[in-house]
């Protein structure tokens, strides 16, 4: 039996009927057509499905859609503005911190949340904040450097 839930995603309100076993990842991708949220492992290990839920990065594959009832969600589609890319997105592109791009949405969301909470993180703090996001293409160094550069740009 489906349950009617309401949630805000990227500043837009939605009312959706969901099955009790449906994940937030499935809701975002299949029902709301927000394809930036990737399903990688499906068990919370890779971070490809990371979204910001009520101010905290979460693996959306581990959250049932019914658990998101009343929540405020930000996906990668909600990070950029009409003025352009977010500084984290800009530095990822400009500094070559992406290769295949599969992990990038989760990395960007985790990094963006980190910089909101801690505008001047150390390298260790950046690595710690990104520790739930796996990348199989890079050695993480360019990603860490991009987050630190975004921190500097956001300071100005």
Q: Distance between CA atoms of 133 and 44, rounded to whole angstroms? A: 10
Report the pLDDT value the prediction gives residue 149, as an integer from 0 to 100.
97
Length of the chain: 156
Where the chain has pLDDT below 50, the residues are: none
- Paired with 13 in beta bridges are 8
Q: Distance between CA atoms of 79 and 22, rounded to whole angstroms? A: 25
Report the pLDDT value the prediction gives residue 143, as an integer from 0 to 100.
96
From the list 121, 23, 93, 105, the residue with the least C-alpha distance to 64 is 23
Report the pLDDT value the prediction gives residue 17, as an integer from 0 to 100.
97
For tokens 């984290």, what's the residue?
A: 88
The count of other CB atoms within 10 Å of the CB of residue 149 is 18
The count of other CB atoms within 10 Å of the CB of residue 124 is 9
User: Under a CB-based contact definition with an 8 Å cutoff, are residues 46 and 111 in contact?
Assistant: no
Report the pLDDT value the prediction gives residue 108, as an integer from 0 to 100.
97
Report the pLDDT value the prediction gives residue 61, as an integer from 0 to 100.
98
- Residue 142: left if φ>0, alpha if ψ -120 to 50, beta else—which one? alpha
User: Under a CB-based contact definition with an 8 Å cutoff, are residues 99 and 137 in contact?
Assistant: yes
Report pLDDT digits (tens) over 74-99.
Answer: 999 999 999 999 999 999 999 999 98
Domain boundaries defined on the chain: 3-78, 87-155
pTM: 0.94
CATH architecture of the domain 87-155 equals Orthogonal Bundle (1.10)
CATH architecture of the domain 3-78 equals Roll (3.10)
């Amino acid at each position: 039996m489906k349950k009617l839930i309401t949630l805000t995603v990227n500043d837009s309100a939605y009312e959706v009927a969901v099955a009790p076993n449906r994940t937030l990842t499935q809701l975002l991708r299949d029902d709301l057509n927000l394809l930036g949220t990737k399903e990688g492992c499906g068990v919370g290990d890779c971070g490809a499905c990371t979204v910001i839920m009520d101010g905290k990065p979460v693996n959306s594959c581990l959250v049932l859609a019914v658990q998101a009832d009343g929540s405020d969600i930000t996906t990668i589609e909600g990070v950029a503005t009409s003025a352009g890319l977010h500084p984290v997105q800009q530095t990822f592109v400009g500094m070559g911190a992406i290769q295949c791009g599969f992990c990038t949405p989760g990395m960007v969301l985790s990094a963006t949340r980190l910089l909101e909470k801690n505008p001047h993180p150390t390298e260790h703090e950046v690595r710690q904040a990104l520790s739930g996001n796996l990348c199989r293409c890079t050695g993480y160094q360019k990603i860490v450097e991009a987050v630190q550069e975004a921190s500097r740009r956001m300071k100005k």
